[in-house]
Amino acid sequence: MAALSRSEADARESAVHTVHTVTIDLASATVRQLNAELHAPTATSYEVLHPQGAHSIGAGIHDEIDVHVRGHAGYFCAGMNQLAHVVVDGSAGNGVAENMMSGTVRVRGDASQSAGATGRGGLLVIEGSASMRCGISMKGIDIVVGGSVGPMSAFMAQAGRLVVCGDAGDGLGDSIYEARLYVRGSVGALGADCVEKEMREEHRAELAELLRAAGFDHDPGEFRRYGSARGLYHFTSEHSGTY
Amino acid sequence: MCGIIGLHLRDPALHPMLGRLLDDMLCGVSERGPDSVGIAVYGDEERNPPGHAAVSVLRAPGDLATTVAGLLPGTPAVTTQAAGDTTVLTAPVAVDALIAAVAAAAPGALVVGSGTDLVVYKGAGHPQDLARTYGLRDVTGWQGLAHTRMATESAINPEGCHPYSVGADQCLVHNGSFSNHATIRRELARQGVVFDSENDSEVGARFVAACLAEGDDLEKALLRLGETFDGFYTLLVTTADGFAVVRDEIACKPAVIAEHPRWVAMASEFRALADLPGIDEARIFEPDPGKVYTWQR
């Protein structure tokens, strides 16, 4: 797991002040200018000022660089991320870290809908809560949410792990394939074909590792595991007569 | 796509700044709806003086004020303010009397807003250009909203622009599309409701107005809308003293609410809220699916 733990994130943050950090102020620069630099980086560390909810900040990075966004990000922040370590010191809009391939994205505030959607790898940490459809169609990404997630989270989740330290809304894991879901608090109505599953030793171990990487100190024993009942995997031929 | 902004001011000290705050918010949703923009403001005493009714009219003939004055008892002073496609008439009479006089004076004109506290502007064009045409930055008052439209259900013209204001001091703006609006339109038409456009959102506004006329409060009216309408929607609905937000049960259409001791604001995207005074101390959240959020003055 290419995870950046909280202590490592903090260490990198303090390193921002020792290594050469390039500051880009979105009060004067455009997001296109910012992203052009991040796509062909001339430094290893960046600080983005005055994001003011702008869209697509740091989307499409494919180098191992650090990016600190000082404020609230809009839609698709750090989308398609590869290798980079992105921290948002605020909240993030729709689709933060959507389709992330690797690296880490840490949101210190809340995230809007579809956080980590279709993500294939890497670690997304949301220290606050995430809105609806968190981890929709996740394909291998790990997502750890410090607060709660909204309804319809992990919809059609295919692979990866979703950890929710708070509560999960209705429709959790609807039409799920093989992702593993861990929830510490309450769960609303489970989605179609999503069931509670036994928490075995290997699950407690991987959950402990995910919590450590994300910087949360909850006891893995406080979580329950959910996953696919595998009842929707195959088209059932006897149903064909009903159409 | 469409963009929505709404601002309900709790602190009277902010009333003189309403237009400036709304104009800054509008910049954050202009990209979501470059076709047209409509604006509604409550409590601007220059544009709708106390003791007056204001009626917003499309396709107004040039001599409308004179003709309307002649039709009103006592021929009161009728003022007009032209702002792009919209002409606003005010007179010290009841709202219904002013609407009736406009209809009699100019059968080809269309009333798109009316009230004792409300002024509505609608027009096709880029939001930021039209905001200047409407003089948005100079607006004062206690509540306002705007809608930037990316048309899906009907033509790009001032008639298809939001808000739909179909009852005195009422406004509805919509991001999304209703799928069973034609059925509901027919049912309302059978009950005698008259429509001004082919727009699906107008059906929502007429439905809410009918519920309010039956005595429902804003929350109940919007819950009934949720039981009756299929489709996607984020709605912002305002009345003479209320401000309400609701999303459908799937909640695909975005909405962010920020609540501060001095104001309540709603927008399609956070970036429209980013410059509000005290935003860092505001409680910012996304409305839950199917839940009605209301605030009263």
**For A89-109, what is the mean pLDDT?**
97
> Do residues B108 and B123 both lie within one domain?
no
Look up tokens 């006897």; give the residue. A238
* Token representation of residue A207: 């959950």
Which chain B residues touch A if contact means CB-CB below 8 Å?
Answer: 28, 251, 254, 256, 269-275, 284-286, 288-289
Indicate if B2 belongs to the active site: yes
Of B251, B269, B289, nearest to A53 by CB-CB distance is: B269
- Using CA coordinates, name the residue in chain B closest to A75: B269
Is A124 inside a domain boundary? no
**B270 closest CB neighbour out of A72, A113, A151:** A72
pLDDT bracket for residue B151 (50, 70, 90): confident
Q: Kindly state whether residue A138 falls inside one of the protein's structural domains.
A: yes
Q: Residue B211's pLDDT is what?
A: 97
Q: What pLDDT was estimated at residue B58? A: 97
Please state the domain count of chain A. Answer: 2
pLDDT in tens, B101-145: 999 999 999 999 999 999 999 999 999 999 999 999 999 999 999
In a domain, A6, yes or no: yes
- Integer Cα distance of A115 and A94 in angstroms: 7
From chain B, pick out residues whose CB is under 8 angstroms from the CB of A75.
269
Q: Which tens digits make up the pLDDT trace of A201-212? A: 999 999 999 999
Name the pLDDT band for A232 (thresholds 50, 70, 90): confident
Q: Which amino acid is at A137?
A: S
Q: Which two tokens stand for residue A113?
A: 């809908």
**Are A155 and A175 contacting, i.e. CB atoms less than 8 angstroms apart?**
yes
What is the residue range of A180's domain?
A: 129-232
User: Is residue A92 one of the residues assigned to a domain?
Assistant: yes
Q: Do B286 and A113 touch (CB under 8 A)?
A: yes
Rounded Cα–Cα distance for residues B86 and B98 (Å): 16
Pairwise CB contact (< 8 Å): B251 & A132: yes
Residues comprising chain A, all counted: 243
Domain match, B55 and B147 both: no
Collect all residues of chain A within an 8 Å Cβ-Cβ radius of residue B269: 53, 74-75, 93
Q: How far is CA A83 from the centre of its chain?
A: 14
**Six token digits for residue B251:** 């909640």
Higher pLDDT, A237 or B288: B288
Same domain? For A200 and A173 the reply is: yes
Contact pairs from chain A to chain B, CB under 8 Å: 41
Test mutation, B30, B175, B253, B270, chain A, max A CBs within 10 A:
B270
Return the pLDDT at A1.
45
- DSSP state letter for A55: T
Whether residues B53 and B104 fall in one domain: yes
- What ipTM was assigned to the predicted interfaces of this complex? 0.81
User: B130 and B259 share a domain?
Assistant: yes
Statement to judge: residues A41 and A135 lie in one domain: no
CB B248 within 8 A of CB B263: no
Q: Do A105 and A152 reside in the same domain of the chain?
A: no
Q: Distance (Å, rounded) from C-alpha B278 to C-alpha B286?
A: 18
Contacts B290 to A, Cβ<8 Å: none
Last residue of a domain, one of B91, B116, B141: B116
* CA–CA separation, B177 and B193 (whole Å): 21
Q: Does the pLDDT value for residue B216 go beyond 60?
A: yes
Look at residue A241 and give its three-state secondary structure: helix
What percentage of residues in chain A have a pLDDT greater than 90? 86
Handedness of CA B163, B153, A115, B229 (dihedral sign): positive
Domain total of chain B: 2
Enumerate the residues of chain B whose CB falls inside 8 A of the CB of residue A151: 251, 288-289
Looking at residue A15, its pLDDT comes to 60
Question: Which pTM value belongs to this model?
Answer: 0.89
Return the residue of B nearest to A95 by Cα: B254
Interface of A with B in 37-96 (CB under 8 A): 52-55, 72, 74-75, 91, 93-94
**Distance between CA atoms of B16 and B153, rounded to whole angstroms?**
36
Q: What is d(CA B129, CA B141) in angstroms, rounded to the nearest whole number?
A: 22
Q: Is A59:A76 a contact under the CB 8 Å cutoff?
A: yes
H, E, C per residue of A219-239: CHHHCEEEEECCCCCCCCHHH
Residues A143, A172 within the same domain: yes
Same domain flag for A92 and A16: yes
Distance between A74 CA and the closest CA of chain B, angstroms: 7
Residue A16 has pLDDT above 80, yes or no: no
- A237 domain residue, yes or no: no
In which residue are the tokens 């990866």 written?
Answer: A160
For B162, the domain range is 3-48+117-291
Tell me: the pLDDT tens digits for A129-170?
999 999 999 999 999 999 999 999 999 999 999 999 999 999
Cis ω before B163 (30° cut-off from 0): yes
B149 with B263, same domain: the answer is yes
Residue B264 confidence (pLDDT): 98
Percent of chain B with pLDDT over 70: 100
SS3 assignment, position A22? strand
What's the CATH code of the domain at B107?
Answer: 3.30.70
Domain closes at, from B116, B137, B170: B116
Same domain, B143 and B247: yes
Predicted pLDDT at A8: 72
Check whether residue B91 and residue B159 sit in a common domain.
no
Note the pLDDT of residue A3.
Answer: 56
Letter for the amino acid at B197? S
Mutate to test the interface with B, among A30, A129, A131 (most CBs of B within 10 A): A131
Q: How many CA atoms lie within 13 A of A224 on its CB side?
A: 13
DSSP string, chain B: --EEEEEEE--GGGGGGHHHHHHHHHHTTGGG-BSEEEEEEE--TTTS-TT-EEEEEES--TTHHHHHHHHSTT----EEEEETTEEEEEESS-HHHHHHHHHHH-TT-EEEEEESSEEEEEEES-HHHHHHHTTGGG--SSEEEEEEE--SSS-SSGGGSSPB--STT-EEEEEEEESSHHHHHHHHHHTT---SSS-HHHHHHHHHHHHHHTT--HHHHHHHHHHH--EEEEEEEE-SSEEEEEE-SS--S--EEEEETTEEEEESSGGGTTTSTTGGGSEEEPPPTT--EEEE-
**Whether pLDDT at A233 is above 80:** no
Q: Is residue A119 part of a domain?
A: no
The pLDDT of B15-44, averaged and rounded, is 95
Nearest residue to A223 via CA among A206, A243, A241, A240: A206
Q: Is the pLDDT of residue B232 over 60?
A: yes
Q: Which residues 6+ apart lie within 8 Å of B2 measured at CB?
A: B32, B33, B147, B148, B149, B150, B162, B174, B175, B176, B268
**In A, residues 174-233, which contact B (CB 8 Å cutoff)?**
none
**Six-digit token pair at B176?**
């999304």
**B273/B176 same-domain check:** yes
Q: Are residues A143 and A204 in the same domain?
A: yes
CB pair distance less than 8 Å for A52 and B275: yes
Instruction: Report yes or no: A96 and A105 within 8 Å, Cβ to Cβ.
Output: yes
State which residue of chain A sits closest to B271, comparing Cα positions. A53
Residues with Cβ within 8 Å of residue B186, at least 6 apart in sequence:
none
Average pLDDT over residues A166-180: 96
Task: Give pLDDT, residue A182.
Answer: 98
Same domain membership, residue B194 and residue B204: yes
Percent share of chain A, pLDDT over 70: 89
- Chain-chain contact of A150 with B286 (C-beta, under 8 angstroms): yes
Q: Which helix (H) or strand (E) holds A203?
A: helix A201-214
Examine the domain organization and report whether B182 and B287 are in the same domain: yes
* Buried/exposed code over A64-77 (b: 16+ C-beta within 10 A; e: otherwise): ebbbbbbbbbbbbb
> From the list A93, A132, A151, which residue is nearest B269 (CB)?
A93
Does residue B297 lie within any of the structural domains? no
Shared domain check, B141 and B287: yes
Strand ordering across the sheet containing B53-58: B79-83, B86-91, B53-58, B110-115
- Whether A74 sits inside 8 A of B271 (CB atoms) is yes
In a domain, A243, yes or no: no
Under an 8 A CB cutoff, do A72 and B274 touch?
yes
The pair phi, psi for residue A195, each rounded to 5°, is -135, 160
pLDDT for A20 beyond 90: no
Q: What does the pLDDT average to over B12-16? A: 98
- CATH number of the domain that residue B234 is part of: 3.60.20.10
> What distance in Å separates residue A81's CA from the closest CA in chain B?
22
Angle at alpha carbon of residue A49, lines to A47 and A52, rounded to 5°: 135
Asked if A90 and A149 sit in the same domain, the reply is no
Q: Please indicate whether, in this complex, the C-beta atoms of B269 and A150 are within 8 angstroms of each other.
A: no
Give the separation between CA B7 and CA B141, rounded to whole angstroms: 10
Q: A2 and A94, same structural domain? A: yes
The lowest-confidence range among A119-133, B141-155, B217-231 is B141-155
Cα–Cα dist A87/A85, whole Å: 7
The answer to whether residues A82 and A133 belong to one domain is: no
Q: Does residue B296 lie in a domain region?
A: no
Is residue A239 in a domain?
no
Looking at the structure, do residues A9 and A61 belong to the same domain, yes or no?
Answer: yes
Interface test with B, best of A52, A129, A136, A149 (most B CBs within 10 A): A52
Average pLDDT of B225-234?
Answer: 97
Q: Which of B2, B161, B171, B211 is catalytic?
A: B2
Shortest alpha-carbon distance between residue A54 and chain B (Å): 6
pLDDT digits 0-9 by tens, B62-74: 999 999 999 999 9
Average pLDDT over residues B138-160: 92
Last residue of a domain, one of B80, B98, B116: B116
Whether B53 and B124 map to the same domain: the answer is no
Mean pLDDT of A27-48: 97
Report yes or no: A44 and A68 within 8 Å, Cβ to Cβ: no
